Amino acid sequence: MKKIVKLVGIVLGCVVLLVLVFCAYVAVVGVASYDPPVTPKLTVERTPARVARGEAIAQVQCMSCHANDENRLTGKYLGEIPAAFGKIYSKNITQDTEKGIGNWTDGELMYFLRTSVKPDGTFSGIMPRYSLMAEEDLKSVVAWLRSDRFPVQPTKQEAPEAEYSFLSKLLSHTIIKAGDYPQQPIPMPDSTDQVALGRYIADGVADCYSCHSSDFLDQDKLHPERSKGYYGGGNKLNGEGGKPIFTANLTFDEETGIGKKYTKEQFIRAVKLGVRPDGSTLRLPMEPRPSLSDYEVGAIYEYLKTIPKLKNDIAGKNAELQLAKK
Protein backbone atom coordinates (compact mmCIF):
# COMPACT_ATOMS: atom_id res chain seq x y z
CA MET A 1 0.00 0.00 0.00
CA LYS A 2 2.73 2.43 1.02
CA LYS A 3 4.53 1.62 -2.22
CA ILE A 4 1.47 2.53 -4.27
CA VAL A 5 1.05 5.83 -2.41
CA LYS A 6 4.69 6.60 -3.09
CA LEU A 7 4.34 5.71 -6.76
CA VAL A 8 1.25 7.87 -7.15
CA GLY A 9 3.15 10.69 -5.43
CA ILE A 10 6.03 10.38 -7.85
CA VAL A 11 3.74 10.29 -10.88
CA LEU A 12 1.81 13.35 -9.67
CA GLY A 13 5.07 15.16 -8.96
CA CYS A 14 6.26 14.45 -12.51
CA VAL A 15 2.98 15.70 -14.00
CA VAL A 16 3.17 18.93 -12.00
CA LEU A 17 6.78 19.38 -13.07
CA LEU A 18 5.93 18.82 -16.74
CA VAL A 19 3.10 21.36 -16.56
CA LEU A 20 5.45 23.88 -14.95
CA VAL A 21 8.09 23.30 -17.60
CA PHE A 22 5.47 23.70 -20.35
CA CYS A 23 4.21 26.97 -18.78
CA ALA A 24 7.76 28.28 -18.52
CA TYR A 25 8.30 27.35 -22.19
CA VAL A 26 5.12 29.20 -23.21
CA ALA A 27 6.13 32.25 -21.15
CA VAL A 28 9.51 32.33 -22.90
CA VAL A 29 8.49 31.65 -26.54
CA GLY A 30 5.24 33.66 -26.40
CA VAL A 31 2.50 33.22 -29.00
CA ALA A 32 2.96 30.06 -31.10
CA SER A 33 4.48 30.34 -34.55
CA TYR A 34 4.65 28.06 -37.57
CA ASP A 35 7.12 27.40 -40.37
CA PRO A 36 6.82 30.12 -43.02
CA PRO A 37 3.97 28.76 -45.17
CA VAL A 38 3.97 27.98 -48.86
CA THR A 39 1.35 30.43 -50.08
CA PRO A 40 -0.69 30.16 -53.29
CA LYS A 41 0.75 31.83 -56.38
CA LEU A 42 -2.07 33.90 -57.72
CA THR A 43 -2.89 37.43 -58.75
CA VAL A 44 -6.34 38.72 -57.99
CA GLU A 45 -7.84 40.65 -60.86
CA ARG A 46 -9.13 43.95 -59.53
CA THR A 47 -12.44 44.45 -61.31
CA PRO A 48 -14.79 47.26 -60.22
CA ALA A 49 -17.38 44.62 -59.21
CA ARG A 50 -14.88 42.90 -56.92
CA VAL A 51 -13.75 46.16 -55.34
CA ALA A 52 -17.39 47.08 -54.61
CA ARG A 53 -18.16 43.66 -53.12
CA GLY A 54 -14.89 43.71 -51.14
CA GLU A 55 -15.81 47.10 -49.73
CA ALA A 56 -19.20 45.82 -48.58
CA ILE A 57 -17.55 42.85 -46.85
CA ALA A 58 -14.85 45.07 -45.33
CA GLN A 59 -17.56 47.25 -43.82
CA VAL A 60 -19.00 44.30 -41.91
CA GLN A 61 -15.57 42.93 -41.01
CA CYS A 62 -12.26 44.72 -41.40
CA MET A 63 -13.29 48.33 -40.76
CA SER A 64 -14.60 47.88 -37.23
CA CYS A 65 -11.32 46.38 -36.00
CA HIS A 66 -8.72 48.12 -38.18
CA ALA A 67 -10.01 51.65 -38.96
CA ASN A 68 -9.07 54.68 -36.88
CA ASP A 69 -11.34 57.69 -36.28
CA GLU A 70 -10.47 59.05 -39.71
CA ASN A 71 -11.58 55.84 -41.41
CA ARG A 72 -8.06 54.73 -42.30
CA LEU A 73 -6.90 51.19 -41.64
CA THR A 74 -4.04 52.15 -39.33
CA GLY A 75 -4.88 49.55 -36.68
CA LYS A 76 -6.20 50.46 -33.23
CA TYR A 77 -6.89 49.35 -29.66
CA LEU A 78 -9.61 46.69 -29.46
CA GLY A 79 -11.33 47.45 -26.17
CA GLU A 80 -14.19 44.96 -26.64
CA ILE A 81 -11.84 42.00 -26.27
CA PRO A 82 -11.87 40.83 -22.64
CA ALA A 83 -8.74 41.84 -20.70
CA ALA A 84 -7.96 38.18 -19.96
CA PHE A 85 -6.59 37.94 -23.53
CA GLY A 86 -4.26 40.91 -23.02
CA LYS A 87 -4.14 44.41 -24.43
CA ILE A 88 -4.96 43.82 -28.10
CA TYR A 89 -4.16 46.21 -30.93
CA SER A 90 -4.85 45.47 -34.59
CA LYS A 91 -2.40 46.35 -37.37
CA ASN A 92 -1.91 48.83 -40.16
CA ILE A 93 -3.33 47.07 -43.24
CA THR A 94 -3.04 50.01 -45.65
CA GLN A 95 -0.95 49.79 -48.81
CA ASP A 96 2.08 51.28 -47.04
CA THR A 97 5.07 49.07 -47.86
CA GLU A 98 6.79 49.56 -44.50
CA LYS A 99 4.04 49.75 -41.86
CA GLY A 100 1.19 48.19 -43.84
CA ILE A 101 0.74 45.24 -46.17
CA GLY A 102 1.97 46.89 -49.38
CA ASN A 103 4.65 44.21 -49.74
CA TRP A 104 2.40 41.18 -49.19
CA THR A 105 1.46 39.19 -52.28
CA ASP A 106 -2.19 38.44 -53.05
CA GLY A 107 -1.51 34.79 -52.23
CA GLU A 108 -0.04 35.70 -48.83
CA LEU A 109 -3.13 37.74 -48.00
CA MET A 110 -5.48 34.95 -49.06
CA TYR A 111 -3.45 32.48 -47.04
CA PHE A 112 -3.46 34.64 -43.89
CA LEU A 113 -7.20 35.38 -44.10
CA ARG A 114 -7.91 31.64 -44.33
CA THR A 115 -5.42 30.31 -41.77
CA SER A 116 -4.29 33.20 -39.47
CA VAL A 117 -0.66 32.45 -40.38
CA LYS A 118 1.43 35.34 -41.75
CA PRO A 119 4.11 34.96 -44.46
CA ASP A 120 6.86 34.73 -41.81
CA GLY A 121 4.98 32.03 -39.88
CA THR A 122 3.67 34.34 -37.11
CA PHE A 123 0.26 33.19 -35.89
CA SER A 124 -2.63 35.43 -34.92
CA GLY A 125 -5.32 33.67 -32.92
CA ILE A 126 -7.34 36.83 -32.27
CA MET A 127 -7.92 38.05 -35.80
CA PRO A 128 -11.01 36.21 -37.12
CA ARG A 129 -10.28 33.54 -39.66
CA TYR A 130 -12.35 33.33 -42.84
CA SER A 131 -12.34 29.56 -43.28
CA LEU A 132 -15.77 29.40 -44.92
CA MET A 133 -15.76 32.52 -47.09
CA ALA A 134 -16.21 31.75 -50.79
CA GLU A 135 -13.10 32.09 -52.95
CA GLU A 136 -14.75 34.83 -54.98
CA ASP A 137 -15.65 36.88 -51.87
CA LEU A 138 -12.17 36.53 -50.42
CA LYS A 139 -10.69 37.69 -53.73
CA SER A 140 -13.03 40.68 -53.57
CA VAL A 141 -11.61 41.58 -50.14
CA VAL A 142 -8.09 41.41 -51.58
CA ALA A 143 -9.12 43.49 -54.62
CA TRP A 144 -10.50 46.11 -52.24
CA LEU A 145 -7.30 46.14 -50.14
CA ARG A 146 -5.41 46.92 -53.39
CA SER A 147 -7.91 49.50 -54.66
CA ASP A 148 -7.88 53.29 -54.79
CA ARG A 149 -10.45 53.54 -51.95
CA PHE A 150 -9.65 55.99 -49.16
CA PRO A 151 -9.27 53.66 -46.11
CA VAL A 152 -6.53 51.55 -47.72
CA GLN A 153 -4.30 54.37 -48.98
CA PRO A 154 -0.80 54.19 -47.47
CA THR A 155 -0.10 55.79 -44.11
CA LYS A 156 2.77 55.24 -41.71
CA GLN A 157 0.52 55.72 -38.70
CA GLU A 158 0.26 52.52 -36.67
CA ALA A 159 -1.03 51.17 -33.38
CA PRO A 160 1.27 49.96 -30.56
CA GLU A 161 2.26 46.28 -30.49
CA ALA A 162 -0.36 44.03 -28.90
CA GLU A 163 0.49 42.70 -25.44
CA TYR A 164 -0.80 39.14 -25.32
CA SER A 165 -1.62 37.72 -21.89
CA PHE A 166 -0.21 34.43 -20.68
CA LEU A 167 -3.65 32.93 -21.34
CA SER A 168 -3.52 34.02 -25.01
CA LYS A 169 -0.04 32.56 -25.38
CA LEU A 170 -1.08 29.34 -23.72
CA LEU A 171 -4.19 29.04 -25.93
CA SER A 172 -2.08 29.48 -29.07
CA HIS A 173 -0.05 26.43 -28.04
CA THR A 174 -3.07 24.33 -27.09
CA ILE A 175 -6.66 24.78 -28.27
CA ILE A 176 -6.39 27.66 -30.79
CA LYS A 177 -4.63 26.35 -33.86
CA ALA A 178 -3.95 27.70 -37.33
CA GLY A 179 -6.51 26.81 -40.00
CA ASP A 180 -5.85 24.82 -43.15
CA TYR A 181 -5.86 26.39 -46.58
CA PRO A 182 -8.77 24.80 -48.49
CA GLN A 183 -7.78 22.18 -51.06
CA GLN A 184 -10.50 23.29 -53.46
CA PRO A 185 -11.85 26.81 -54.03
CA ILE A 186 -14.99 27.32 -51.91
CA PRO A 187 -18.03 28.04 -54.14
CA MET A 188 -20.59 30.80 -53.52
CA PRO A 189 -23.90 29.50 -52.13
CA ASP A 190 -26.98 29.39 -54.35
CA SER A 191 -28.40 32.85 -53.72
CA THR A 192 -31.96 31.72 -54.46
CA ASP A 193 -31.77 29.31 -51.49
CA GLN A 194 -32.43 31.76 -48.65
CA VAL A 195 -31.48 29.39 -45.85
CA ALA A 196 -28.16 28.47 -47.48
CA LEU A 197 -27.40 32.11 -48.25
CA GLY A 198 -28.32 33.19 -44.71
CA ARG A 199 -26.06 30.58 -43.20
CA TYR A 200 -23.22 31.65 -45.48
CA ILE A 201 -23.56 35.36 -44.68
CA ALA A 202 -23.97 34.78 -40.92
CA ASP A 203 -21.20 32.21 -40.45
CA GLY A 204 -18.91 32.60 -43.48
CA VAL A 205 -18.87 36.35 -44.03
CA ALA A 206 -20.20 38.35 -41.07
CA ASP A 207 -18.99 36.03 -38.28
CA CYS A 208 -22.23 36.59 -36.31
CA TYR A 209 -21.96 33.21 -34.57
CA SER A 210 -18.61 33.93 -32.94
CA CYS A 211 -20.06 36.69 -30.75
CA HIS A 212 -23.55 35.18 -30.51
CA SER A 213 -22.55 31.70 -29.27
CA SER A 214 -21.56 31.08 -25.63
CA ASP A 215 -17.81 31.26 -25.69
CA PHE A 216 -14.97 32.26 -28.05
CA LEU A 217 -12.94 29.35 -26.69
CA ASP A 218 -15.39 26.63 -27.65
CA GLN A 219 -16.00 27.23 -31.36
CA ASP A 220 -15.58 25.17 -34.48
CA LYS A 221 -14.40 27.36 -37.37
CA LEU A 222 -15.12 24.73 -40.02
CA HIS A 223 -18.45 23.60 -38.57
CA PRO A 224 -19.75 26.67 -36.70
CA GLU A 225 -22.98 24.83 -35.80
CA ARG A 226 -20.91 22.61 -33.50
CA SER A 227 -19.85 25.64 -31.46
CA LYS A 228 -21.00 25.69 -27.86
CA GLY A 229 -24.38 27.40 -27.49
CA TYR A 230 -24.64 28.13 -31.23
CA TYR A 231 -26.51 31.45 -31.51
CA GLY A 232 -27.81 31.11 -27.95
CA GLY A 233 -25.87 34.25 -26.91
CA GLY A 234 -24.38 34.82 -23.47
CA ASN A 235 -20.82 35.48 -24.61
CA LYS A 236 -19.57 38.11 -22.16
CA LEU A 237 -17.86 41.00 -23.99
CA ASN A 238 -16.79 44.52 -23.14
CA GLY A 239 -19.30 47.11 -24.30
CA GLU A 240 -19.34 50.90 -24.21
CA GLY A 241 -16.66 52.28 -21.89
CA GLY A 242 -15.45 48.76 -21.08
CA LYS A 243 -18.72 47.83 -19.31
CA PRO A 244 -19.48 44.10 -19.58
CA ILE A 245 -22.39 43.02 -21.77
CA PHE A 246 -23.78 39.61 -22.74
CA THR A 247 -24.52 38.96 -26.42
CA ALA A 248 -28.14 38.35 -27.41
CA ASN A 249 -29.83 34.99 -27.96
CA LEU A 250 -30.61 34.90 -31.69
CA THR A 251 -32.30 31.50 -31.76
CA PHE A 252 -36.06 31.43 -32.29
CA ASP A 253 -36.85 30.42 -28.71
CA GLU A 254 -40.20 32.17 -28.09
CA GLU A 255 -39.39 33.24 -24.54
CA THR A 256 -35.72 34.18 -24.50
CA GLY A 257 -34.73 34.34 -28.18
CA ILE A 258 -35.99 36.40 -31.10
CA GLY A 259 -38.88 34.09 -32.08
CA LYS A 260 -41.59 36.47 -30.87
CA LYS A 261 -39.50 39.61 -30.52
CA TYR A 262 -38.67 40.29 -34.15
CA THR A 263 -40.49 40.14 -37.46
CA LYS A 264 -38.25 39.79 -40.49
CA GLU A 265 -38.56 43.52 -41.25
CA GLN A 266 -37.69 44.44 -37.66
CA PHE A 267 -34.71 42.10 -37.73
CA ILE A 268 -33.42 43.68 -40.94
CA ARG A 269 -33.76 47.13 -39.36
CA ALA A 270 -31.97 46.04 -36.17
CA VAL A 271 -29.02 44.49 -38.02
CA LYS A 272 -28.63 47.19 -40.65
CA LEU A 273 -29.38 50.25 -38.53
CA GLY A 274 -28.88 49.09 -34.95
CA VAL A 275 -32.43 49.89 -33.79
CA ARG A 276 -34.68 47.51 -31.80
CA PRO A 277 -38.42 47.18 -32.53
CA ASP A 278 -39.19 49.57 -29.62
CA GLY A 279 -36.92 52.21 -31.15
CA SER A 280 -34.06 51.85 -28.63
CA THR A 281 -30.49 51.51 -29.89
CA LEU A 282 -28.45 48.32 -29.79
CA ARG A 283 -25.36 48.75 -27.65
CA LEU A 284 -21.72 48.23 -28.60
CA PRO A 285 -20.02 46.06 -29.63
CA MET A 286 -23.11 45.31 -31.77
CA GLU A 287 -22.57 47.67 -34.67
CA PRO A 288 -25.01 48.48 -37.47
CA ARG A 289 -24.20 46.76 -40.77
CA PRO A 290 -25.74 48.95 -43.47
CA SER A 291 -23.59 47.43 -46.22
CA LEU A 292 -25.45 44.10 -46.03
CA SER A 293 -28.46 44.04 -48.36
CA ASP A 294 -32.02 43.59 -47.06
CA TYR A 295 -32.07 40.29 -48.93
CA GLU A 296 -28.91 39.06 -47.18
CA VAL A 297 -30.09 40.03 -43.69
CA GLY A 298 -33.55 38.59 -44.41
CA ALA A 299 -31.78 35.38 -45.41
CA ILE A 300 -29.95 35.32 -42.04
CA TYR A 301 -33.38 35.53 -40.37
CA GLU A 302 -34.63 32.59 -42.45
CA TYR A 303 -31.53 30.60 -41.50
CA LEU A 304 -31.86 31.35 -37.77
CA LYS A 305 -35.41 29.97 -37.94
CA THR A 306 -33.96 26.57 -38.87
CA ILE A 307 -31.41 26.11 -36.07
CA PRO A 308 -32.12 24.51 -32.67
CA LYS A 309 -33.84 26.85 -30.21
CA LEU A 310 -31.89 27.49 -27.02
CA LYS A 311 -33.32 28.83 -23.79
CA ASN A 312 -30.97 31.50 -22.47
CA ASP A 313 -32.36 34.58 -20.76
CA ILE A 314 -29.89 37.28 -21.78
CA ALA A 315 -32.05 40.24 -20.77
CA GLY A 316 -32.10 38.76 -17.26
CA LYS A 317 -28.34 38.26 -17.27
CA ASN A 318 -27.68 41.81 -18.47
CA ALA A 319 -30.04 43.14 -15.78
CA GLU A 320 -28.10 41.19 -13.15
CA LEU A 321 -24.88 42.83 -14.36
CA GLN A 322 -26.52 46.23 -13.86
CA LEU A 323 -27.63 45.30 -10.32
CA ALA A 324 -24.23 43.85 -9.42
CA LYS A 325 -22.62 47.17 -10.29
CA LYS A 326 -24.89 49.24 -7.99
- Alpha-carbon span 311 to 91, nearest angstrom: 38
* Amino acid code (one letter) for 321: L
Please report, as ranges, the residues that interact with ligand HEC according to CB under 6 A: 58, 61-62, 65-66, 78, 88, 90-91, 93, 101, 112-113, 118, 124, 126-128, 141, 145, 162, 202, 206-208, 211-212, 237, 245, 247-248, 250, 258, 261, 267, 270-271, 276, 282-283, 285-286, 289, 300
Cβ at position 15, least distance to ligand HEC in Å: 31
Cβ at position 125, least distance to ligand HEC in Å: 8
Q: Which is nearer to ligand HEC, 4 or 280 (CB)?
A: 280
Cβ at position 260, least distance to ligand HEC in Å: 11
Rg for the chain, CA atoms, rounded: 22
Is residue 57 within 8 Å of 139, Cβ to Cβ?
A: no
Q: Which is nearer to ligand HEC, 47 or 263 (CB)?
A: 263
Cβ at position 84, least distance to ligand HEC in Å: 15
Q: Which is nearer to ligand HEC, 16 or 319 (CB)?
A: 319
Q: Which is nearer to ligand HEC, 127 or 176 (CB)?
A: 127
Q: How far is CA 155 from CA 45, 47, 113, 166, 325, in A?
A: 24, 24, 22, 32, 42
Q: Which is nearer to ligand HEC, 11 or 222 (CB)?
A: 222
- Alpha-carbon span 252 to 258, nearest angstrom: 5
Is residue 105 within 8 Å of 176, Cβ to Cβ?
A: no
Number of H helices, E strands in the chain: 11, 4
